[in-house]
Structure formats: structure tokens, C-alpha cells
Amino acid sequence: MTALSIVVPCFNEEACLAELHQRLGGAARIAVGEDFELVLVNDGSSDGSWPVMQRLAEADPNLVAVNLSRNHGHQLALTAGLDICGGDKVLIIDADLQDPPELLAPMLAAMAAEGADVVYGVRRSREGETAFKRATAHGFYRMLSRATEVDIPLDAGDFRLMSRRALNALLAMPEQARFIRGMVAWIGFRQIPFSYDRKERFAGETKYPLGKMVRFALDALTGFSSAPLKLASHAGLALSAGSVVIVLYILYVWLAGRSIQGWTSLMLVVVVLGAIQMFALALMGEYIGRLYNEAKGRPLYIVQDIAGRTAGTGRTRLGYVAEATANKDKPGGKGQRPIA
């Protein structure tokens, strides 16, 4: 087991990889010397990210490059890297270098000083992001904090340092729709914040446009809270009470001998009731869809190739590693195997 693993999910990050490799390697050597591994996970990139990773792995014995069979999404790519890594401590960081790798040594020092299992980054500022993104992120974290039963830290992303026992607890959770920062909060242990200023993206463009942000928020909310279902129930109760009031009003005007007019008001009531019903059904469908995906029991990810040193790759629990063509003719190369 190495002292430290650094896990980086990558999607179309060709322009960042050389700088990422240099800065992460430098930060790791300052912190732990040569006893580390850098695990880059290529999440089905459509640019030249994988060839660059292969070249880096050939030149650096500390680097393991993992190529997924297709784009699985950020959280599953991150899961693959965490599943494969073999470090006693594990740093999670994105490839865009918005989270400074140079914070590794101070985070390790904070973990040792506090006896913590998790040191999670809390963003003091967010450079290079639009006012809309900052506002929606601010609102999302606070809404999530109110809605969930788990105390998920505010303004904290996936940038964090974890102990091996915390990681093992995380890997014991096999759900398909993964919200890693919420899952880490759920496992407990001693977790401490580490405040920092988030930098502007080094190169390229964000991999989280509005559509993906909405999907991510939905996964977070439905994965850690039954509040949406309770909201639908409360809306149903309120509408039921409103219906009683409407029935009483209709009886009153009938007894008073007045003619009931108002096709518009009638249609308004029908439309509102229909909209609320469809909203409630959509929420239920979201939860049922999650149950359906879990019931299929498919592996969370499929690894197509592994380049570089493969120590630790036999412990994967949540995915499937196909024949790693980059390694199959090399000593220690992995053949095709199902995951236990």
C-alpha cells in the first residue's frame, strides 16, 4: 500500500493534463516523497486525453491511467478511481486545477493534527465563475442542507483528503446514482473543514453546463432526502382541504338559489389540480427510476484499459475491468475479470 493516492476524474482535459501532472507530482513529493500514486481516470473523453495519459504513464512510474469504456459521468469516474487506488490516504481533486494541488501538504498536516478521517475543502471564493453559477451554487447547498437528513457541509465540493478506513466505508455503498460529497458526509467519522480560495479553470471549459447541474442537484436531493415526496404529500393534503372548501361554497350558492357561472374558474381549478398531480407523479417517478436502476445490479463502471503501474487494481469492488490491452503483455498486467 502506498502512503498516498491522488484520484483525478478527467473528461476532455487534454489541455490541462501536462500542467496537472507536473503540479500534482510536485505537491505529492513535497508531502510524502516518492511513496504516492497518481490515478487519472479518462471518462470517455472525445479529445486526445487518453493518448496524453498513456504517454505520461510511460514516463512516470507513479502514474496509473485508467480508461473507462465510455462516458459514465463525473461521479462514477471518480468512483472508479477511488475503487482502484491503493493509498493509505486519498486526495480527490478535479483536473481543471481550480482546486490548488499545493494545498495537499497543509491538508495532510491538518488531518494528522486533528486526528481526522476526512479533510474537506470549503470554498471561500470562486474565481472565474459567473454570478449566475455562484448564486445557484449558493442556493443549492443551502437548500440541500435544509432538505436532507445528513449534515452536508456548505460550499464544499469533492476536493477532499480521506483516510483509508473512510474510503473503505464509502466503497461499501454500491448505489448507482452517486453524490460523493453527500455519501462521505453520511459515513461519519471525524471530518474537518479546510478553507481555501478556488482558482479560475486552468484551460478548457466547464464540464457542468446547466443541464448537468440540474441533474446533479436532483441526484443529490433524491439520494439524501425524502423531502420531495413529503412536499407532494403536503401539496395533496392542501389541495384536499381546498376541495372541501370549494364543495362547501358550491353547496352554499346552490342553497341560496344562485346560478353557478365561471367556466374560466372551473378550468383554472382543473389545470392547477392536474399540474400538481403531474408534479407529484414526476417526483414519484424519479424515486422509482432510482429503484429500477438499483434493482438491475449492473457494475457502476467498466474499465477498458489501464496504463502504467497496476498495483492495487485487484481490489475493485463496484465495477468491471475488461481486458486491459495496454498491460496484458506486461508483467503484472491484468486480464479480464469480474469484480467481486
* Residue 214 belongs to a domain: no
Do 233 and 193 lie in one domain? The reply is: no
Which of 241-250, 295-304, 309-318 is the least confident region?
309-318
Q: With 60 as the cut, is the pLDDT of residue 339 above it?
A: no
- Average pLDDT on 122-149 reads 67
Question: How confident is the model at residue 335, as a pLDDT?
Answer: 37
Do 71 and 61 lie in one domain? The reply is: yes
Do 290 and 310 lie in one domain? The reply is: no
C-alpha cell at 310: 497496476
| Most confident among 170-179, 250-259, 304-313 (mean pLDDT) | 170-179
* Burial (CB count within 10 angstroms: exposed 0-12, middle 13-18, buried 19+), residue 144: buried
What's the full length of the chain, in residues? Answer: 340
Q: With 90 as the cut, is the pLDDT of residue 180 above it?
A: no
Question: How confident is the model at residue 333, as a pLDDT?
Answer: 40
- Average pLDDT on 75-96 reads 90
Q: With 50 as the cut, is the pLDDT of residue 332 above it?
A: no
For the full predicted model, state whether its pTM sits above 0.85: no
Separation between Cα atoms, residue 109 and residue 89, nearest integer Å: 12
Could you tell me what percent of the chain has a pLDDT over 90? 22
What pLDDT digit, counting tens, does each position of 19-52 carry?
A: 999 999 999 999 888 889 999 999 888 888 899 9
Do 163 and 15 lie in one domain? The reply is: yes
- Average pLDDT on 68-76 reads 88
Do 184 and 56 lie in one domain? The reply is: yes
Question: How confident is the model at residue 325, as a pLDDT?
Answer: 47
Do 204 and 245 lie in one domain? The reply is: no
Question: How confident is the model at residue 21, as a pLDDT?
Answer: 92
Question: How confident is the model at residue 224, as a pLDDT?
Answer: 60
Of the pLDDT bands very low, low, confident and very high (cuts 50, 70, 90), residue 114 is very high
> Are the C-beta atoms of 327 and 334 separated by less than 8 Å?
yes
Mean predicted lDDT score pLDDT of the chain: 76
Do 73 and 198 lie in one domain? The reply is: yes
| CATH number of the domain where residue 201 is located | 3.90.550.10
Query: Domain tally for the chain?
Result: 2
> Are the C-beta atoms of 94 and 159 separated by less than 8 Å?
yes
Do 159 and 255 lie in one domain? The reply is: no
Separation between Cα atoms, residue 246 and residue 337, nearest integer Å: 64
Question: How confident is the model at residue 340, as a pLDDT?
Answer: 34
Structural domain span for residue 312: 2-208+298-321
Of the pLDDT bands very low, low, confident and very high (cuts 50, 70, 90), residue 157 is confident
Do 169 and 29 lie in one domain? The reply is: yes
Question: How confident is the model at residue 221, as a pLDDT?
Answer: 62
Do 187 and 236 lie in one domain? The reply is: no
Do 291 and 307 lie in one domain? The reply is: no
At 303 the three-state DSSP class reads strand
What pLDDT digit, counting tens, does each position of 216-262 carry?
A: 666 666 566 555 666 666 666 666 666 666 666 666 666 666 655 66
Separation between Cα atoms, residue 307 and residue 327, nearest integer Å: 6
